[in-house]
Amino acid sequence: MSNGVGKGNAAVRFRLSSFWNSLPLWALIVGCAAGRPRPNPPTFTGVETSAWLVQETAPVERNDVLPAFKAAARNYGCSTEELGSASSANIVGESRSYYGISASCEEGTVALITLEGGRIRIGCAQPTTRESCDALLRNISQR
């Protein structure tokens, strides 16, 4: 004697098993899409381009802007890269120099380059707005 309940349960079991069998692939696809890092912008050269929004500061009285920015960006959780990095041998050992720092953060990428006369040129990787760039700089500087 069949009341049709068994047939309905088999259909539900089939649909549920299909869902669970497809879940790992679905979860993997969503996980990869959500966890995909932003593409790296081209190296900041201090010039406004389609890849970089640029602003410039007045002269600053500090000579440790780049190391301070690098430390603050790392404390904030950004990865950093020295721009224009060069090394040369001297009597004491090796001397390293660079003219800028690029910080790649969850919210975006920001770079600082020192200029003649103590000015700083700031670049934020596109897509961004001046407000978002300023907010990222504020967040980094508060670390």
Query: pLDDT value at position 72?
Result: 97
Provide CB contacts within 8 A for 113, sequence distance 6+: 44, 45, 46, 83, 99, 100, 120, 121, 123
Query: Which amino acid, residue 116?
Result: E
* Cα(60)–Cα(107) distance, integer angstroms: 26
pTM of the model: 0.68
For the chain, what are the domain ranges?
1-36, 52-141
The CATH number given to 52-141 is 3.30.310
User: Which whole number is the average pLDDT over 72-97?
Assistant: 83
Determine the average pLDDT of the residues in 122-140.
95
pLDDT at 138 over 50: yes
Distance in Å from the first CA to the final CA of the chain:
74
> If you average pLDDT over residues 94-107, what whole number do you get?
87
Give the dihedral sign, CA 40/43/46/47.
negative
List, for residues 10-45, the tens digit of each pLDDT value: 554 444 344 434 444 433 344 444 444 556 789 999
